[in-house]
Amino acid sequence: MTRSVAEEIIRLKKESGAFIFAHNYTLPEVQDIADFTGDSLELSIRAKEVKAEKIVFCGVSFMAETAKILSPDSKVLHPVPASGCAMADMAVAEKVAEYRKNHPGTVIVAYVNTTAAVKAEVDICCTSANAEKIVASIPADKNILFLPDRNLGRNVMNSLGRKMELWPGYCPVHNNIDVKMLEEARRLHPGAAIMVHPECPEEVVKNAEYAMSTGAMLRFLPNAKEKEFIVGTEEGILHRMRKENPDKIFYPLLPQIICPDMKKITLEDVLKSLKEEVYEVKLPVETMNRARKAIENMLAVK
């Protein structure tokens, strides 16, 4: 009897004791074979808790790096290292270090969508799920640089009424969403609530009913009073939304809001990763130690 790729992955996973993580935007079939699927914050926390010898990380490279930083004794495998994040690439460690040198005293807050080398240069990390809480924890007399996402930074500034300097980065997938698209979707689906990611521009966030991280969306939906939702974020999230809320209807804001990097990891890649133990995430120990401090500073904020 020939086994399907998914069955073979499940078998090998059990045999080797590997733990598979997947982000909410990955391919549905990849989410389905994962031991844990979540948003960036949930994945970081779980990576720290899991004491697995081997971790296969299905998501973009900064997420696999974060898992390695938090689980340095595990072998962390990233099935497709070319699966990067266009936004993370907009902040380069040397430039951040130069900024720090020229602005002593400024607190640098980095969204987790950054490379390990950038995290090593900053004071504290945040995710889209906790950005407001992290910024609010910084004493009011401190200047703040928020990087790399100017949209998330602007949306946090608007909610908290606090000024920050913003790095000129953005997510090409979410930055392309505009208010006209929301108006058109409302016309097509009157009565549906619009849910967007805070990486969207501020006018989009202001015009939507809800703006939250992918994990917060999934926690919110089961108890939501509305029955229909227009979803303004990467389409991979629709898989869990529909599976976990069969009584609700979800419309993508546009037919295709796709992060090509999140779709690069296929089941065949996961199988290869398990079989051949590729591709191991390797980072300089000093970079990991400094980056871990910024992540732990974030996790310590209650």
Contacts with ligand SF4 by CB under 6 A lie at 60, 85-87, 113, 171, 173, 199, 234, 259, 261-262
Distance, CA of 114 to CA of 125 (rounded, Å) = 9
The pair of structure tokens assigned to 151 is 């949209």
Picking from 3, 78, 74, the residue whose alpha carbon sits closest to that of residue 262 is 78
Q: Which of 31, 115, 128, 207 binds ligand 13P (CB under 6 A)?
A: 128
Q: How far is the CB of 193 from ligand 13P (least distance, A)?
A: 18
Distance, CA of 155 to CA of 144 (rounded, Å) = 15
Q: Which of 199, 235, 261, 269 binds ligand 13P (CB under 6 A)?
A: 199
Name the residue whose CB lies closest to ligand 13P: 39
Is there binding between residue 39 and ligand 13P (CB under 6 A)?
yes
Q: Which of 71, 83, 114, 213 binds ligand 13P (CB under 6 A)?
A: 213
Q: How far is the CB of 56 from ligand SF4 (least distance, A)?
A: 18
Q: How far is the CB of 157 from ligand SF4 (least distance, A)?
A: 19
- From the list 99-107, 126-134, 153-161, 241-249, the region that binds ligand 13P by CB under 6 A is 126-134
Q: Which does 127 bind (CB under 5 to 8 A by kind): ligand SF4, ligand 13P, none?
A: ligand 13P
Distance, CA of 275 to CA of 258 (rounded, Å) = 29
| Residues facing residue 165 across a β-bridge | 145
Those residues whose C-beta lies under 8 Å from the C-beta of residue 137, and which sit 6 or more positions away, are 301
Q: How far is the CB of 289 from ligand 13P (least distance, A)?
A: 24
| Interface characters, 129-148, with ligand 13P (x: CB under 6 A) | x-------------------
* 8 Å CB contact between 88 and 113: yes
Q: How far is the CB of 86 from ligand SF4 (least distance, A)?
A: 4
Tell me which residue has tokens 């002593």: 104
Q: Which does 151 bind (CB under 5 to 8 A by kind): ligand 13P, ligand SF4, none?
A: none
Q: Which does 214 bind (CB under 5 to 8 A by kind): ligand 13P, ligand SF4, none?
A: ligand 13P
The pair of structure tokens assigned to 253 is 């804001």
Distance, CA of 32 to CA of 118 (rounded, Å) = 32
Site for ligand 13P in 216-275 (CB under 6 A): none
Is there binding between residue 37 and ligand 13P (CB under 6 A)?
no
Picking from 120, 164, 168, the residue whose alpha carbon sits closest to that of residue 148 is 168
Is there binding between residue 121 and ligand 13P (CB under 6 A)?
no
Secondary structure class of 200 (helix, strand, coil):
coil
The pair of structure tokens assigned to 299 is 């996790």
| Amino acid in the structure at residue 220 | F
- From the list 12-20, 46-54, 124-132, 179-187, the region that binds ligand 13P by CB under 6 A is 124-132
Secondary structure class of 272 (helix, strand, coil):
helix
**What is the C-alpha radius of gyration for the chain, rounded to an integer number of angstroms?**
19
DSSP string for 212-270: --HHHHHHHGGG-S-SEEEEES-TTHHHHHHHH-TTSEEEESSS----GGGG---HHHH
Q: Which residue ranges make up the site for ligand 13P (CB under 6 A)?
A: 24, 39-40, 113, 127-129, 171, 197, 199, 213-214
